[in-house]
Amino acid sequence: MTTLLLIAMLQAGPPLTLVQPDSPAAAPVTITLQDALERAKQNDAQVQSAAADAESAKEDRVQARASLLPNFSYSLQYLGNSPTPNNVLPNGRFVSLDGVKMYRNWGMVRQEISPNVLMLTPLKRAQALELAAQAKLEVAQRGLAVTVTQKYYAFVVAQRKYASAQSAADSAQRFLDTTRRQEQAGQVAHADSIKAEISYQQQQQAFRDAFAAMDAARLSLAVLIFPMLTENFSVVDDLASAPMLPSFGDVKSAAAANNPDVRAADAALKAAAQDVRSSKNAFLPTIAVDGVYGFEANEFGTHSIVLDRPEVGVIPTLGYFITVNMTVPVWDWGNLRSKLHQANTREHQAQVTLTQTQRLLMSNLYSMYNEAQAAKAAVDNLQHIADLATESLRLANLRYQAGEATALEVVDAQTTLVQARNAIDDAQVRYRVALAELQTLTGRF
């Protein structure tokens, strides 16, 4: 409402009314850049998908570790056998059973002993894939940080440009009033008043455009940081307090140690190497050991009478038996060899991906660091220009009031100042974004 009143007071035509989403009546939330980053992580679908993949990879590692250890289970069974007429055969009709009724109460253990188990191949592969998933999550988070930084400071700059447009509009209003008074006093020509009014109308239109751009920037940021679209927030303008750019040596060391793209590619290569090892181990024998402890008897108890040997009397039923099975692959029509060829191909591709990622890292590191340096230099240079433009406008107004300058010079000085302020704001955003992009390679500094 304040903005609309200001526009109306400046008499620049009908006020600009924007269609906006409903916002709660509570006080607006103040958001810092760090707040925006944390909120965006909770609401961004890509980051949440990467986080889910990382959590799933963690569980895969837990399952792979468990698969290397013995499995314990418990089984309780009742086996009913069809009897023979007049119980001629006490064992019943099925020769595989030793009675009409049988009970099994077993505790079972199973352990597979294979080259993959002995070399921990499944666990090492799962650990590598977990590291790759965590690295990809970090890649997504750093990429999101660049996007949030762009949107956050785009809103900050939109607010600054709105303030600059308002200031320029006020200045144009004052200059128009001055020229009209001087025209009425016969000190300037009517052409000066026309020029001043043209400048005034142009600044009013720029003011409206800045208002619309600020609202659009607010909405663009709100989409990233809020689960429900709202405009009931404000941001902290810390654009001028950007961190210093470290030396290239420090940046290079940080990139070598903390780059998630390289970590992900390296972990993928390690996982591919474990796939090759697993494919080779498939050619070797596998031993499976199954152990059972409990009873299998005609009565549910720890002692029983064997129906076909009643003369033996009551005997203990608890006991164990062990089965050891060795499987040796002999011929599978080339299936195992084909899987080994596939694994070797994937390992080679992973190696190529890793080396290319390392080359891209160095290339991006040089270009992004140079961009950050250029952006920092632009900030320093454009700040000096903005200071000069402010002083130039002040002197132009004084000279015009003294009759030593034309209206065109004052209008030109006003335009130059607005452009200089906008340019310094854009340069500061450029530097902030350049730092955020550089930190996708190095991590925070």
Residue 429 lies in a domain: yes
Same domain, 212 and 251: yes
* Residue 51 reports pLDDT greater than 70: yes
Residue 301 lies in a domain: yes
- pLDDT tens digits, one per residue of 166-213: 988 888 888 888 888 888 888 888 888 888 889 899 889 989 999 999
Which range, of 227-236, 300-309, 388-397, averages the lowest pLDDT?
300-309
**Per-residue pLDDT averaged across 376-392, rounded?**
94
Among 264, 296, 328, residue at a domain's last position: 328
Residue 193 lies in a domain: yes
Residue 2 lies in a domain: no
What is the distance between the alpha carbons of residues 30 and 238, in angstroms, rounded to a whole number? 13
Same domain, 86 and 154: no
Look up residue 110 and give its amino acid. Answer: R
* Residue 22 reports pLDDT greater than 80: no
What is the distance between the alpha carbons of residues 445 and 439, in angstroms, rounded to a whole number? 7
Same domain, 192 and 273: yes
- pLDDT tens digits, one per residue of 130-160: 999 999 999 999 999 999 999 999 999 999 9
**Per-residue pLDDT averaged across 284-291, rounded?**
95
- pLDDT tens digits, one per residue of 109-138: 999 999 999 999 999 999 999 999 999 999
Same domain, 394 and 299: no
Q: Which CATH number fits the domain that encloses residue 146?
A: 1.20.1600.10
Quick one: pLDDT at residue 144? 97
Same domain, 49 and 124: yes
Same domain, 276 and 356: yes
Quick one: pLDDT at residue 9? 41
Same domain, 368 and 233: yes
Same domain, 291 and 368: no
Same domain, 253 and 372: yes
Residue 28 lies in a domain: no
Q: Which residue has the higher pLDDT, 119 or 2?
A: 119
Tell me the pTM.
Answer: 0.83
Among 295, 313, 328, residue at a domain's last position: 328
Residue 4 lies in a domain: no
Phi, psi of 376 (to 5 degrees): -65, -40
Rg of the chain's alpha carbons, rounded to an integer? 39
Same domain, 203 and 95: no
Number of structural domains (the chain) is 2
Same domain, 257 and 306: no
Residue 3 lies in a domain: no
Structural domain harbouring 49: 33-68+120-284+329-442
Residue 198 lies in a domain: yes
* Residue 54 reports pLDDT greater than 90: yes
Same domain, 124 and 225: yes
Q: Which CATH number fits the domain that encloses residue 319?
A: 2.20.200
* Residue 47 reports pLDDT greater than 60: yes
What is the distance between the alpha carbons of residues 263 and 314, in angstroms, rounded to a whole number? 67
